[in-house]
Amino acid sequence: MTVIGWLQIVLFCVVIVALTKPLGYYMTRVFNGEKTFLSPVLRPIEAGIYWISGVDEKREQHWLTYTVAMLLFHVGGFLIIYGVMRLQAVLPFNPAGQVAVAEDLSFNTAISFITNTNWQNYGGESTISYLVQMVGLTHQNFLSAATGIALAVALIRGFSRASMRTVGNFWVDVTRCTLYVLLPICVVYTLFLVSQGMPQTLGDYVDATTLEGAKQTIAVGPVASQVAIKMLGTNGGGFFNANAAHPFENPTALSNFVQMLSIFALGAALTNVFGRMVGNQRQGWAILAVMGVLFIAGVTVTYWAEASGTSTLQALGLTGGNMEGKEVRFGIVASSLFAVITTAASCGAVNAMHDSFTALGGMIPLINIELGEIIVGGVGAGMYGMLLFVILAIFVAGLMVGRTPEYVGKKIEAREVKMAMLAILVLPLMILGWTAVGVVYPAAVASMANAGPHGFTEVLYAYTSGTGNNGSAFAGLTGNTFFYNLTLGCAMFVGRFFMIVPAMAIAGSLAGKKSIPPSMGTFPTTGGLFVGLVVGVILIMGGLTFFPALALGPIVEHLAMNAGNLF
Amino acid sequence: MLREIRPAIVLLLVLTAITGLAYPLAMTGIAGAIFPAKAQGSLIEKDGKVIGSALIGQEFKDDKYFHGRPSATLAPDPNDSTKTVSAPYNAANSGGSNLGPTSKALADRLKEDVDKLKAENPNAPVPVDLVTTSASGLDPDISPEAAQFQVPRVAKARNIPEESLKTLVAANTEGRWLGLLGEPRVNVLALNLALDRASAK
């Protein structure tokens, strides 16, 4: 670990905190339906969209209608992706002549993109056409991100409203999020990325003759426009197989830094949106503080582990950290930081290969996802995930003093706690359940690339990433098999929607409750005690659930490595 | 609930058209106009022929060139399309080795490469980036130490003094952005092109 390395980490944190308030202010106005500086340009387009699609923007929806609208929207999204993948051979924008994608891989990819997971069983440049990249993937990158944010805003409205039957209008929230938040940022962001060297072209792959006379086919494409939303929307599905490690998908140290910022920016801003909507910004800062504590702890461990290297490297006298699967322009610190960010948020883009991380360095990304990606989290998903943990923490605090717990003026009762528990139990069910199948089913075992405990970690990571809708991978695992395409598809689907429905039920139930003013007995939720309590609940829940699995994977591998065992 | 069906279909199609077609196509047009060379992939031409991209690494095996990092990229086996074969710096199928910290295959590969480099230059410690594969398999850069490490070999192959090569490496070393972000690095293709130019004089 070096001083300049830590300076890069500190700079990242400072910029994120500085962006939180202005972005939160802007997004609050967008979701309250107020005028913004972009309204003169965008308002006519917005009104036109409502007119042709028959949306009455004044009419709000009950939580159940809101949820059904969201589900219908995703059925359509699924069909579009599945359709263009199966038909890409006869559709335009296919200069590399890619053939139809197989049924199981198309199924997996379609689920993967509508759930904001973007797990890459497809190899970007080697499997799919530009049309699929644009119409299938870029478009769903926008819509799954907009959906996540819309759902978080609906849950926040549950807290901020009193005695109401509705939580907002899904169509309006998604449209406004896309038009006012995602698209304008992406336009500027795309141009910045191209200025750093990222391609943006519909031309053919380029055939070059290298200095030594060999032939090199260089894949290009409309990369920048997709990368912009892939990062901003915490989607993470790469244009290229190597994702943000590919020099075209992340050309410079600066493009890397901005990509990291864009993963966290909207998620962090949502804490401020929460604070503003419930009428006290300090409530938002307290939640951001919980995320910050967990984040710094994770970065410290991963950076330390990667900088220390492995016993194999040390035995050969190689210093400078574990550079296997990392790029020179990012080095140890920017690769470690990126890995923690991408798994804290449910982004899943990678600028280094997590499979080649040290045992402990690779364990942190795994833990980040297993905790539910609530450290800033996926856009929207992180916020509603964190609020579920807050409900549990408040409930625990209530139990200790024997009072009905309250949070931002709402009584937290049996229904909310049950729903929160239901949502949180989805994670161990899918992750541990499928991992257990994956390590005994012969066709699944054959997919492991590494032997010993590392192979187990590959399978655990795959289901963790799928269920958590992250999308990063211990990429040695051959995921593009019938078994993994199907079971990971299931994990991604359940991990996304079985979390959303209970969260929306909580939103509906809270919106209907009266708001009670704070009294002497109210537990203050803006201070250090609250932050400590939530951090504690998260770690205990995560630890109790996943420690045994982690002990079998990364922990035993670390011990084996120190003992000099190779597999 | 039935009245949600029309927006589900129409809104989806409208937003797909905006975000999936209008946005990427408009950005392709605008980016191509403002940054024409970069939008095409920063291609380098020599005598009218494309020799590569400034951002994409390529394989160097000849002693008279500086070498890049090992690459773990694969290509379909020409004899059996269900299998893959090693194809370093395959820029149409990026990827890393994905070998873990306790992998025996990785340990063996590292040992072999370290021994080879030690024989080539016994006077300097072997830089870690010269024996580890990059994440993309297309890393265009090596560390300044890795470039300096290869100076004796290249100097001997080209029969030029080591001092002038060291100056050339220093001139082709890029620092951190604003002295802070990223790591110092040397673009191998740019260095080798500069080397060819210097030798031609």
Residues B31, A106: Cα–Cα separation, whole Å: 31
- CB–CB of B41 and A4 under 8 A? no
What token pair was written down for B182?
Answer: 């990223």
Q: Quick check: B97 contacting A, CB < 8 Å?
A: yes
Amino acid in position A187: V
Which range of residues forms the domain containing residue B132?
43-200
Q: Please indicate, yes or no, if residue A414 is contained in any of the structural domains.
A: yes
Angle between helices A3-31 and A281-308 (to 10 degrees): 150
Q: Print the domain residue range for A492.
A: 379-562
In a domain, A81, yes or no: no
Total count of domains within chain B: 2
B101, B195: one domain:
yes
- Indicate whether A544 belongs to any domain: yes
pLDDT of amino acid A443: 87
- Our CA-based measurement puts residue B162 at a distance from the nearest CA of chain A, in whole angstroms, of 22
Sign of CA dihedral B11, B14, B18, B19: positive
Q: A residues 297-316 near B, CB within 8 Å?
A: 309-310, 312-313, 316
- Coarse DSSP helix, strand, coil percentages of chain B, rounded to the nearest 5 percent: 45, 15, 40
Check CB contact under 8 Å for B101 and A138: no
**Residues from chain A contacting residue B133 (CB–CB below 8 Å):** 324-325
A85 touches chain B (CB under 8 A): no
Beta carbons of B7 and A7 less than 8 Å apart: no
pLDDT at B199: 86
Query: Does the structure show a pLDDT above 90 at B195?
Result: yes
pLDDT value at A140 more than 90: no
Report pLDDT for B81: 77
| The amino acid at A107 | F
Q: Which of residues 399-438 of A touch B (CB under 8 A)?
A: none
Task: Please tell me whether residue B86 adopts helix, strand or coil conformation.
Answer: strand
> Cβ(A222)–Cβ(B32) under 8 Å?
no
Question: To which residue do tokens 């989806």 refer?
Answer: B12
For the stretch A422-457, what's the b/e string if a residue is b when 16 or more beta carbons lie within 10 angstroms of its beta carbon?
bbbebbbebbbebbeebbeeeebeebbbbebbbbbb
Rounded mean pLDDT of A52-77? 93
Pair B151, B81 in one domain = yes
Same domain as B168, residue B99: yes
pLDDT band at residue B47, thresholds of 50, 70 and 90?
A: confident
Q: How far is A242 from chain B (nearest CA, A)?
A: 5
Q: Please give, rounded to a whole number of angstroms, the shortest distance from the CA of B190 to a CA of chain A.
A: 11
Query: Is the model's pLDDT at A494 over the cut of 90?
Result: yes
Q: Does residue A270 contact residue A27 with C-beta atoms inside 8 Å?
A: yes
Q: Is B69 on the interface with A (CB under 8 A)?
A: yes
Pair B62, B148 in one domain: yes
Interchain proximity B180–A52, CB inside 8 Å = no
Angle between helices A253-277 and A183-195 (to 10 degrees): 160
B22 touches chain A (CB under 8 A): no
Q: Which residues of A touch B136 (CB under 8 A)?
A: 240, 242, 245-247, 327
Judge: B182–A256 Cβ closer than 8 Å, yes or no: yes
User: How many domains, in total, are found in chain A?
Assistant: 1
B138 and B123 in a single domain? The answer is yes
A452 touches chain B (CB under 8 A): yes
Chain B residues with CB-CB distance to A557 below 8 A: 100-102
Which residues have C-beta within 8 Å of that of residue A371, sequence separation ≥ 6? A294, A538, A539, A541, A542
Clarify whether residues B22 and B78 are in a common domain: no
| Nearest Cα residue to A153 out of A291, A272, A289, A49 | A272
3-class DSSP state for residue A373?
coil
CA distance A423 to A502: 6
Q: Inter-chain contact A202–B58, Cβ cutoff 8 Å?
A: no
Average pLDDT score over residue span A27-37: 96
Interface size between A and B, measured as CB pairs under 8 A: 381
Interface of A with B in 105-134 (CB under 8 A): 123, 125-126, 134
* Residue of B12, B60, B145, B172 best to disrupt the A interface, most CBs of A under 10 A: B12
B35 and B112 belong to one structural domain: no
Same domain, B107 and B13: no
Q: Give the CA-trace dihedral at B93, A120, A124, B134, to 10 degrees.
A: -30
In chain B, residues with a C-beta closer than 8 Å to the C-beta of A203 are 40
User: Residue A92's pLDDT is what?
Assistant: 86
Pairwise CB contact (< 8 Å): B128 & A560: no
Instruction: Specify whether the CB–CB gap between B28 and A201 falls below 8 A.
Output: yes
Same domain, B33 and B79: no
Q: Which residues of chain A have a CB within 8 Å of the CB of B125?
A: 317, 319
Give a yes or no: residue A494 inside a domain. Answer: yes
A198-223: pLDDT as tens digits: 999 999 999 999 999 999 999 999 99
Asked if residue B49 and residue B99 are part of one domain, the reply reads yes
Q: Select from B7, B128, B140 the Cβ nearest to the Cβ of A320.
A: B128
- pLDDT tens per residue across span A422-476: 999 999 999 999 999 999 999 889 888 888 999 999 999 999 999 998 888 888 8
Query: Tokens 């403002």 — which residue?
Result: B34
Residue B1 has pLDDT above 70, yes or no: no
Alpha-carbon distance A408 to A133, whole Å?
43
pLDDT at A116: 83
Dihedral sign, CA of A181, A182, A186, A187?
A: negative
Interface of B with A in 135-174 (CB under 8 A): 135-143
Which of B134, B143, B149, B186 is best to mutate for the A interface (most A CBs within 10 A)?
B134
B92 and B33 part of one domain? no
How close, in Å, is residue A62 to chain B by CA atoms? 10
Q: Decide if A355 and B95 are in contact by the 8 Å CB cutoff.
A: no
The answer to whether residue B101 neighbours chain A at the CB level (below 8 Å) is yes
Distance spanning both ends of chain B, measured CA to CA: 78
Examine the domain organization and report whether B12 and B107 are in the same domain: no
**Which tens digit of pLDDT belongs to each residue from A155-167?**
999 999 999 999 9
Contact at CB, A206 and B43, closer than 8 angstroms: yes
Cross-chain Cβ contact A318/B28 below 8 Å: no
- Strands (E) across A369-458 are located at 406-407, 410-411
Whether residues A248 and B12 touch (CB distance < 8 A) is answered with: no
In a domain, A24, yes or no: no
> Would you say residue A565 has pLDDT above 80?
yes
C-alpha A118 chain-centroid distance: 9
* Bridge partner residues of B185 (DSSP): B174
| DSSP β-ladder status, B80-86 and B43-46 | unpaired
Confidence of residue B34 (pLDDT cuts 50, 70, 90): very high
Interface contact flag, A125 B133, Cβ < 8 Å: no
Mean pLDDT of the residues in chain A: 93
Read off the pLDDT of residues A374-398 as tens digits, 9 standing for 90 and up.
998 888 889 999 999 999 999 998 8
Interface touch B50/A209, C-beta < 8 Å = yes
